[in-house]
Structure 1
Amino acid sequence: MSVHYPLKFEPILKERIWGGNKLNTVLHKKTEKENIGESWELSDVEGDVSVVANGKFKGKSLTFLIDQYKEILLGKKVYQRFGIKFPLLIKYIDAKEALSIQLHPNDKLAKERHNSFGKTEMWYVMQADENANLIVGFKKNSNKEEYLKHLENKSLLEILNVDKVKKGDVYFIPTGRIHAIGAGVLLAEIQQTSDVTYRIYDWDRKDDQGNERELHTELALDAIDYNAIDNYATSYKPELNKSKNIVDCQYFTTNIINLDGSIAINNENKDSFVIYMAVKGKATIIYNDAKEVIINEGETVLMPACLSKFQLKSEEKSEVLEVYIK
Structure 2
Amino acid sequence: MKFYPLQFEPIFKERIWGGEQLKSVLHKSFTSSTIGESWEISTVKEDVSVISNGIWKGKSFVDLIKEYPKEILGTAVYARFGTEFPLLFKYLDAREDLSIQVHPNNSLAQKRHNSFGKTEMWYVIQADKEARIIVGFKEDSNSNTYLENLKNKTLLSILDEVNVKSGDAYFIESGTVHSIGAGLLLAEIQQTSDITYRLYDFDRVDDKGFLRELHVDLALEAINYKKVQTKKEFTKNTNESNVVVDCPYFTTNFISLEGTMEVVKSAETFTVYMCVEGFFEIEKDHIKLQYKKGDTILIPAAMNEFILNGKASILEIYIS
Q: Which residue of 2 aligns with 1:276?
A: 273
Report the residue type matching 2:290 in the other structure: I
Report the residue type matching 1:262 in the other structure: T
Secondary structure class of the residue paired with 2:68 = helix
Q: Does 1:267 align with 2:265?
A: yes
Secondary structure class of the residue paired with 2:161 = strand
Report the residue type matching 1:253 in the other structure: T
Secondary structure class of the residue paired with 1:282 = strand
**Residue deviations 1:224-249 (CA, integer Å, cap 9, x gap):** 000003x4311111101111100000
Gaps of 5+ in 2: none
Q: Which residue of 1 aligns with 2:218?
A: 219
Q: Does 1:310 align with 2:306?
A: yes
Cα distance in 2 for residues equivalent to 1:320 and 1:128 = 18
**Residue deviations 1:140-183 (CA, integer Å, cap 9, x gap):** 00000000011001111110001100001000000000000000
Report the residue type matching 1:213 in the other structure: R
Q: Does 1:233 align with 2:254?
A: no
Q: Which residue of 2 aligns with 1:86?
A: 85
The 5 Å alignment of 1:44-83 reads 44-83=43-82
Contact kept in structure 2, 1:3 and 1:304, CA below 8 Å: no
Cα distance in 2 for residues equivalent to 1:72 and 1:138 = 43
The 5 Å alignment of 1:189-208 reads 189-208=188-207
Report the residue type matching 2:226 in the other structure: N
Equivalent of 2:245, from 239, 247, 250? 247
Cα distance in 2 for residues equivalent to 1:220 and 1:121 = 17
Contact kept in structure 2, 1:3 and 1:73, CA below 8 Å: no
- Runs ≥4 residues deviating over 2 A: none
The 5 Å alignment of 1:5-16 reads 5-16=4-15
Tell me the C-alpha RMSD between the 2 structures.
0.9
Equivalent of 2:314, from 313, 317, 320? 320
Deviates more, 1:270-279 or 1:143-152: 270-279
The 5 Å alignment of 1:64-143 reads 64-143=63-142
TM-score by length of 2: 0.99
Gaps of 5+ in 1: none
Cα distance in 2 for residues equivalent to 1:319 and 1:70 = 29
